[in-house]
Amino acid sequence: MLDGKTALVTGSTSGIGLGIAKALAAKGADVVLSGLATEDEVEALKKELTDLYGVKVGFSGANLTDADAIEGMMGYVARDFGGVDILVNNAGVQHVGPIEDFPVARWDLIISLNLSAAFHTTRMAITGMKEKGWGRIINTASAHALVASPFKSAYVAAKHGIAGLTKVVALEGAQHGVRCNAICPGYVYTPLVEGQVADTAKARGISEEEVKRDVLLAAQPTKEFVTTEQIGDLAVFLCSDGGASMNGSIIQMDGGWTAQ
């Protein structure tokens, strides 16, 4: 389905990004991974995807808070893969704290990585997509692109910004075969969250199941985590012919969180 296409997925050495990269590779897309990982970890991931799906796999460790580094990454994809056909802006970071005590450096980092990086990759990729007459841009937003939670000022601001950016890019690309949408997951059970569950259970003196149900999933009516595979499947649909009329959509995948 995606043979001959190249997907650049930021923040894809683990978690949601890796799930999306695997789903796209399974449909035939060559994949460029981006994120933090050791050389051995990168080589293992590249070998895994190549062996499983028979696609070409690249990697960039570019600092996505640096516009010049992003330009270098996009140049690498253009030279070695013929440009970006599918751009998945997934890289992100989080910090929790009251706004009066929120470290300014953490605010700057979150806005830079979660929002500005998506602006830079998009502005550098969209011209090539327009020239080809086909492109897909998928932004990993969050339920926090639609609703807020206390103590997450930078994250919520960035994700609301991603929703707005998605709509603008969707309008600008609409007549050029370029589609831009955002996926808004609720809590996803990633290795990072798994570690938080254990730490929270120990700190509160409750079981890990209670942490999952009563703390992390308190806002999700299904009381079930979203999976990386489900998000990957949605990304594949957005790249398919069946998803071609999806444009500027802010798609909830949150177990009913934002239905309340």
Is residue 76 part of the annotated active site? The answer reads no
34, 8 Cβ separation under 8 angstroms = yes
- Of all helices (H) and strands (E), which one includes residue 181? strand 178-185
Instruction: Name the active-site residue from 53, 76, 155, 189.
Output: 155
Q: Please provide residue 168's backbone torsions phi and psi, each rounded to the nearest 5 degrees.
A: -65, -45
Residue whose entry in the numeric block shows the structure tokens 């005590």: 101
CA angle 234, 237, 240 (to 5 degrees): 160
Residues with Cβ within 8 Å of 206's Cβ and at least 6 positions away in sequence, in order, are 214
CB 29 within 8 A of CB 56: no
Distances (CA, A) of 43 to 40, 78, 147, 209, 210: 5, 21, 39, 35, 37
Tell me the residue type at 30.
Answer: D
The residues carrying an active-site annotation are 155
